[in-house]
Chain A
Amino acid sequence: MSALTRVTAEIRSELGDERVITDRQRLRTYECDGLAQYKVVPGLVVLAHDVDDVVTAVRACARHRVPFVARGSGTGLSGGALPHADGVLIVMSQMRAIRQLDTANHRAVVEPGVINLQLTGATSEDGYYFAPDPSSQTVCSIGGNVAENSGGAHCLKYGFTTNHVTGVDLVTPGGELVELGGKAPDPPGYDLLGALVGSEGTLGIVTSVTVRLTRLPQEVRTILAGFRTVDEAGAATSAIISAGVVPAAIEMMDALAIEAAEEAVHCGYPDGAGAVLVVELDGHAADVADEFDAVVRHCEAAGAFEVRVAADDAERALIWKGRKSAFAAVGRISPDYIVQDGVIPRTALSQVLQQIAELSEQRGVRVANVFHAGDGNLHPLVLFDDAEEGAAERAEDVAGGILELCIAGGGSITGEHGVGSDKAKYMPAMFSQDDLDTMQAVRCALDPDSVFNPGKVFPTPRLCGERPGRRQGAHPLTEAGVAEVV
């Protein structure tokens, strides 16, 4: 009898048939997450309804050293929830109760399957919201946000998930239940929450999350500015930031992305724009008024030929619709596309965009650019037609080349989508073996048998028994003359 068979029998006997899936056809539903190019049918799916289900499943896996993976809504874009063929997929989406809305303390306690936007929906009447707003917020789960340290358009001002989680109930890879943090800030001891949030489901499964609720701003103003070129839009972004204004969001789209969005949702962006900026200001009315004047001035000085302000919520929604639908909209102008996620220092924006354009032209692969300009987070959309011989490989090549440009520019291989299965191979370009071994040492502390979400984040698994060997030579980034390593 295989280890998985034993695990299946044990879990089934405790949870009953309804909470486990063994039928091959139904298992297929879970073969991939939001990054559909990787597919693995899981050996077993457990639909967790409560913390006991999670503990039972995890302990069974730990006992038999069977790999397991946690999954929320399955919207991740890096294959972080890609199942293991001989392992168990623990699906958390049934745990979707908002346990407590404690607006007096600016906190909510939620189960991990609660949908991001539902929490905001539940608190906005009281004047609060959950600040992290990934584009998938209508469907992604808060447990998934914790795993990925999700950001969103508004994290420029308000921070990422890691800045908004103050406590969790954690089931460790060994099946222990540990309560970390709570409603009060700064729990004593090592900042385990800091290490956990963004660990992509490799350090434990959260069964309850305490998050900060943010006060709704008194005023929100959304500005749409059309420019002839991305360079002009980039210059406007730099000028706004340099002037000391920290908008809630600054988003940029280039001509190809605009074209796609227009075709899909008719968002009415300025005609003939080579780039648009969406700038959102929020806060106290007096600050917003001052900042608004500054933003308009800087946009016009940088060459904006049209600056439009959303007059009401409907107009604001339309401006954002163009931006938020950009990924899907690209499907209108290209049969297939890769969504890339890379980060560069904001000051390198112009240079890196130029390099991406050159790369695109050299390889004959179209690239549409959508990005969070305020924090240098690029989402180039690499377009291709899979029916065409070798096109997918060329696109993959260009997408990889873009990451190399990000690293060379002093940035990162991922700003919000995570490393997952997809980018583990790029980790050695950003981190030395010692860096990665040290991260893995932390992983080994919590998961000595390497059973939790194996194969993700790190390019090579490390046996936790071994001590990292000393290595000679320079850090890969230093060697490449890129930068001093931080």
Chain B
Amino acid sequence: MGPIHADGAPPATAPDLAVLARSLEGAGEVREAETSDTVDGVPAAAVARPTSIPAMSALLRTATAHGLVTVPRGGGTALNWGAPPERVDLILDTTGVNRLVDHEAGDLVAVAEAGLPLHELQERVAGTNQELLTDPPPERVAAGSTIGGLLATAPSGPRRLERLAVRDLVLGATLVLADGTVAASGGKVVKNVAGYDLAKLVTGSLGTLGIVARAAFRLHPVRPARAVVIRRGRLEDLTRLARETVAAQFVPAAVEIDRPAGRDDATLAVLLEGTEEAVAARAAEAAALIGGERVEDLPSWWARMPGADMLAKATATLTGVADLVRTARAAEQRHGAAIAVRGSAAGVLHLGITAPDGPSAAAAVETLRSAAPTPRDGTVTVVAAPREFRDTLDVWGPVAGLGLMRRIKERLDPGRNLSPGRFVGGI
């Protein structure tokens, strides 16, 4: 996507590169932005790459004191997630702060700096047969998605069914606030209730509260064997079977549904993990329940985002998953859209939406929102969309507690110097 100005967005303030560079005291560098340095189409004026947390703090303090707007960037694999920022004076490239600080295998905990690529973390802990069990989209991991990006975007993956989500695996985080304050919360032990859990608050906040500098995660042992059971069939049958699988006692690690756009059929894939023998027994039970067959490999679409013009995230209750899928079919027919549905029977699914124009896309999203009786039973938020669709779209839908969120933002970033406009309600 080319560097197009958001409509009405104020142009970037020209930062004083020398002042910013001085703030780093040699720990990193500052340069003018190139044409590729954009955030969801909004061009930046400068890019800074600090190489330590104190340098990150000094840089941000200086940038904010000069009235600059800063947007953090890790691997840059999800810069089009959320809404585009109102403007970008400075991109804070976190990839220079990238150490694996601590991995004590016996504790099943890893502490890493924000810029450490996820695949590197996984490779390093794999030596002790452990993993950070988050299943972000493999295309993002391959493109260098980082620890900081993982927290800021909180992607939802298949194995959250058994092991829960990113927010449940983060044990502590160190943030750099807009004024340079370095603030830690949590710790590096699995069990800890001292102080507020700000790591959860910042998870999924798209860089609007503070910039993640370091985080601690709970790891899990890699289980020795796995089995995949697949069933293809009619949508209604599969959503019912998915629900029964989630409620079964054979402990599925993941239950995923993949329904390509425009289809009345879908695939149900069940992942089982454990010891060789146990997995075989459980896979047989799963196969019997869903009338499926055990296969060697995970399907190629596993954990990937459905490709389309527009990406949305839908949540639902376990029973609401069927309603969501049915509504997607209705939305396609009503609005001339193509909607691929893929995700966890636990109630978090991704929608790949292709529509002839903005108004049809917006109408399709509204129809999808009607799948759940209330927002407490399910929501649809647009994760990424082309600029020409945005004007007509209600990206976030209803957001409960928005007033409280604004007040928290106001306290932590009163000048709106961090990623303004990227988050709910224009935060």
Contacts and interface: CB of A to CB of B under 8 A. Distances in A.
Nearest to A155: B191
A244 B189 contact: no
Contacts of B182: 434, 475
Contacts of A102: 317
A427 B195 contact: yes
Given A376-B190, A411-B187, A244 B222 contact: yes
Given A284-B282, A445-B407, A189 B424 contact: yes
Nearest to B398: A188
A412 B247 contact: no
A486 B147 CA distance: 14
Q: Which of A183, A241, A444, A457 has the most CB of B within 10 A?
A: A183
A343 B189 CA distance: 7
B129 A244 contact: yes
Interface residues of A, number: 102
A84 interface: no
Interface stretch (B24-32, B100-108, B358-366): B100-108
B200 A242 contact: no
Interface in A219-241: 238, 241
A190 B109 CA distance: 25
Given A194-B203, A410-B189, A486-B172, A438 B277 contact: no
Interface in B328-387: 346-348, 372, 374-379, 381
Given A185-B165, A434-B181, A444-B411, A192 B405 contact: yes
B168 A186 contact: no
A317 to B, nearest CB: 22
A137 to B, nearest CB: 17
B392 interface: no
Contacts of B167: 191, 194
Contacts of B201: 190-192, 194-195, 442
A419 B194 contact: yes
Contacts of B401: 170, 178-180, 189-190, 192
A182 B377 contact: yes
A182 B204 contact: no
A106 interface: yes
A444 to B, nearest CB: 6
A438 B424 contact: no
Interface stretch (B15-23, B115-123, B213-221, B230-238): B213-221
A367 to B, nearest CB: 20
B9 interface: no
Contacts of A73: none
A412 B185 contact: no
Nearest to B220: A246
25 contacts: A107-B317, A149-B193, A176-B403, A180-B400, A183-B377, A184-B347, A184-B372, A185-B165, A188-B381, A188-B397, A217-B249, A242-B105, A244-B129, A284-B278, A289-B278, A345-B189, A376-B190, A423-B194, A430-B195, A431-B185, A436-B195, A438-B412, A445-B410, A485-B174, A486-B214
Given A375-B189, A417-B193, A443-B196, 14 more contacts: A106-B246, A167-B376, A182-B376, A189-B424, A197-B197, A215-B247, A343-B187, A410-B188, A431-B185, A438-B198, A442-B201, A446-B408, A475-B182, A486-B187
Interface of A: 102, 104-107, 148-149, 151, 155-156, 159-160, 162-163, 167, 170, 172, 176, 178-195, 197-199, 210, 215-218, 238, 241-246, 283-284, 286-287, 289-291, 343-347, 372, 375-377, 410-419, 423, 427, 430-432, 434-439, 441-446, 457, 468, 470, 475, 483-486
Question: Which 10 pairs from chain A and chain B are nearest by CB?
Answer: A182-B376, A194-B200, A244-B221, A438-B183, A286-B278, A412-B192, A347-B106, A445-B407, A286-B281, A415-B191
